[in-house]
Amino acid sequence: MSTQRNWAGNIRYSARAYHRPSSLDELRELVAGSDRIRTVGSGHSFNRIGDTTGALVDLSGLPATIRLDAQRRTVDVPAATRYGDLATWLHQQGYALANLASLPHISVAGAVATGTHGSGVTVGNLATAVAGLELVTGAGDLHTADRDSADFAGTVVALGALGVVTRLTLDVVPTYDVRQYVRLDLPRAALDEALAAAYSVSVFTDWRSTLGTQVWRKQLADQPPPPADWLGTTAADRPWHPVPGMPTVNCTEQLGVAGPWHERLPHFRLGFTPSSGDELQSEYHLPRADAAEALAALDEVAHLIAPVSQTSELRTVAADRLWLSPQYDRDTLAVHFTWIADTTKVLPVLAEVERVLAPFAPRPHWGKVFTLPPEAIAATYPRWADFAALLIRLDPAGRFRTEELDLLFPR
């Protein structure tokens, strides 16, 4: 394990063993015989919440069967499946997911466990599509939950702390086409209108010039294109990449060319290295109603952010009722930072970002870099104590705990 790292390379895993079981029975036996164990998915986490000094288990060796239930409009999918692979398969069957994240490379279980999201004022994060799941508990037992289960809302976004999720059942919709337009130089006053202007919208800024350096507008294909003078922006006449200087061939097609949902909703193509790779990431989820004031607060430290930032993305996510979801009970503005890959330079800036955002009860993305103390995070989640109790009930031996989880939920 000494050579095993996460996707970005900033975390070297501490595990003393690495397993890739080929059957559910083998996995159950492995979990029951371990003192500490965690699942490793696509490795797209930038902190140690998924690290362990025990064993890491890779689920990609389990049976990879995907099962569609057209009558119920659900799909049953193995936990290790990448969203891009699932989306391609679903589209071939005539179905789709309501939302996708920026990267199609991430695993379904990992994205769900951390409340990872796409964008849209009416669309929830990826975890809100979960209709049911199956997990292996610390005793090696098989536990299932669906929307009729009493603690279902606490079991979905669970940080891998309740067990090894093996399969998930997701809601699906009929497949649809999307057109993607990039607009340039959005005025600050038009931000809220821009974010609500299409099915999915992302606004990128460099913290140096106008707020909306780029606006990625992803609209349903049957909707009219934005007018030439849309919100005072100008239309891009060539493809763009969110990170200046990176090759645009990595990005999904733009310029209003209609295409399948899974080839437009992500920012990056499945067949290419996502984003820049050489980076750190942070993300804070704020009440959408406070967007203007929160961004004004960030203006105070923009001169610190800009030198260590590759790009920053603003997007919205609809409220949900999942206990540890960053969108629990509030419509959200997500402020995402793609930093340079230099922890010593980034962390002091991160502290200033968190300081100015403190009045807005920020919820950090569970899988990215943050320094907020556990008590500050807990104060923003009304069901925190309920999840802590569920954690003790389903994992009394602490098999799925990590140092990060022990800090968040001390025993």
Asked whether residue 169 falls in the same domain as residue 190, the answer is no
Q: Which pLDDT score, from 0 to 100, does residue 277 have?
A: 62
Asked whether residue 192 falls in the same domain as residue 129, the answer is no
Q: Which pLDDT score, from 0 to 100, does residue 12 have?
A: 82
Residue 15 lies in a domain: no
Q: Which pLDDT score, from 0 to 100, does residue 315 have?
A: 96
Asked whether residue 206 falls in the same domain as residue 249, the answer is yes
Beta bridge partners of 220: 178
Tell me the CATH number at 209: 3.30.70.2520
pLDDT of 2 higher than 50: no
Residue 17 lies in a domain: no
Residue 45 lies in a domain: no
Q: Which of 185-189, 271-275, 309-313 has the lowest mean pLDDT?
A: 271-275
Residues 6+ apart with CB under 8 A from 229: none
Asked whether residue 114 falls in the same domain as residue 168, the answer is yes
The last residue of a domain, from among 133, 155, 174 = 174
- Rounded Cα gap, residues 253 and 260, in angstroms: 11
pLDDT of 394 higher than 90: yes
What percent of the chain is helix, strand and coil (3-state, nearest 5)? Answer: 25, 25, 45
> What is the H or E stretch that residue 386 is in?
helix 384-394
- Rounded Cα gap, residues 15 and 123, in angstroms: 37
The last residue of a domain, from among 174, 192, 226 = 174
Residue 73 lies in a domain: yes
CA-based diameter of the chain, in Å? Answer: 63
CB 369 within 8 A of CB 282: yes
Residue 161 lies in a domain: yes
Percent of the chain exceeding pLDDT 70 equals 97
Q: 331-363 pLDDT, tens per residue?
A: 999 999 999 999 999 999 999 999 999 999 999
- Rounded Cα gap, residues 287 and 268, in angstroms: 27
Count Cβ atoms within 10 A of the Cβ of residue 73 and give its class: 0-12 exposed, 13-18 middle, 19 or more buried: middle
Asked whether residue 342 falls in the same domain as residue 267, the answer is yes
pLDDT of 227 higher than 90: yes
| Helix 291-299 / helix 343-357 crossing angle, nearest 10 deg | 130
Q: Would you place residue 273 in the very low, low, confident or very high pLDDT band (cuts 50, 70, 90)?
A: low
Q: Which pLDDT score, from 0 to 100, does residue 151 have?
A: 95
Token duo for residue 241: 């990449």
Token duo for residue 319: 């409220």
Asked whether residue 160 falls in the same domain as residue 189, the answer is no
Tell me the CATH number at 75: 3.30.465.10
> Residue 291 sits in which domain range?
177-372
- Rounded Cα gap, residues 156 and 124, in angstroms: 14
Asked whether residue 160 falls in the same domain as residue 266, the answer is no
* Pick from 235, 242, 236: nearest CA to 267: 242
Percent of the chain exceeding pLDDT 90 equals 84
Q: Would you place residue 8 in the very low, low, confident or very high pLDDT band (cuts 50, 70, 90)?
A: confident
Q: 358-387 pLDDT, tens per residue?
A: 999 999 999 999 999 999 999 999 999 999
Asked whether residue 114 falls in the same domain as residue 196, the answer is no
- Rounded Cα gap, residues 323 and 152, in angstroms: 9
Mean pLDDT of the chain: 93
- Rounded Cα gap, residues 215 and 186, in angstroms: 7
Q: How many folded domains does the chain comprise?
A: 2
The last residue of a domain, from among 174, 208, 225 = 174
- Rounded Cα gap, residues 322 and 363, in angstroms: 14
| This prediction's pTM | 0.94
Residue 3 lies in a domain: no
Rama region for 55: left / alpha / beta (φ>0; ψ in -120 to 50; rest) = beta
Q: Which pLDDT score, from 0 to 100, does residue 171 have?
A: 98
* Pick from 338, 27, 30, 95: nearest CA to 206: 338
| Across 103-109, average pLDDT | 92
Asked whether residue 232 falls in the same domain as residue 281, the answer is yes
For residue 377, the tally of other CB atoms under 10 A from its CB is 18
Token duo for residue 303: 């001169």
Q: Would you place residue 264 in the very low, low, confident or very high pLDDT band (cuts 50, 70, 90)?
A: very high
| Across 249-267, average pLDDT | 96
Asked whether residue 137 falls in the same domain as residue 184, the answer is no
Distances (CA, A) of 204 to 111, 223, 287: 22, 23, 19
- Rounded Cα gap, residues 266 and 275, in angstroms: 11
Asked whether residue 144 falls in the same domain as residue 183, the answer is no
Asked whether residue 230 falls in the same domain as residue 347, the answer is yes
